[in-house]
Structure 1
């Protein structure tokens, strides 16, 4: 849990999680390709919205995948990200019960 809290201590990571909760509200429809909508949102689209460098965005997304907050799918040269709702619910339950 400590690693999760470290990941969540960054405003940009929190913002990305928030955007991915309802991607159709936060990203242009043309940026969320219909045929891959189940995959999530492409890293380049997240990077553009966040206004961060490619390396910083990639680092943030990778750290969130590694701790289980996000899931990723690689399709050719593109990587798509979406929230891992089960892990987020586990975190919410941990906070509710333990803290």
Structure 2
């Protein structure tokens, strides 16, 4: 058996996910997005939060953080493959990528 100098692709992918989830606010936002209707103001939504996602403005309001911080956090979750972004007019909406999350859980199961 030879030692690997670089992580295997699955491991590299998991490391990106762990980095994204290592921040408590990003982890909380991902949990909120699991049930968007329960956690965000549906009556103010300009798109269906279940189908399209939650507007970054609503995520920002709920976290109480600066818009730029929330946008950076959401970009990190998107890079890790945990959420998908959809533009609606000038607003970006975020939704969990459930299929990708399931894949990552399976990868974690056979990697560890």
> TM-score when scaled to structure 1?
0.91
Alignment of 1:58-77 (within 5 A): 58-77=71-90
Q: CA deviation at 1:75?
A: 1.6
Q: CA deviation at 1:5?
A: 0.8
Alignment of 1:17-56 (within 5 A): 17-33=30-46, 36-37=47-48, 38-56=51-69
Q: CA deviation at 1:30?
A: 1.2
Q: CA deviation at 1:14?
A: 0.6
Matched, 1:14 2:40: no
Matched, 1:94 2:107: yes
Segment drifting more, 62-71 vs 5-14: 62-71
Give CA-to-partner distance per residue, 1:43-86, whole Å, 9 cap, x none.
00000001111110000001111221110111221010000011
User: Structure 2 unaligned runs (5+)?
Assistant: 1-13
Q: CA deviation at 1:31?
A: 3.1
C-alpha RMSD of matched pairs (Å)? 1.1
User: Structure 1 unaligned runs (5+)?
Assistant: none
Distance in 2 separating the partners of 1:67 and 1:75: 22
> TM-score when scaled to structure 2?
0.81
Preserved contact between residue 41 and residue 58 of structure 2 (Cα < 8 Å):
no
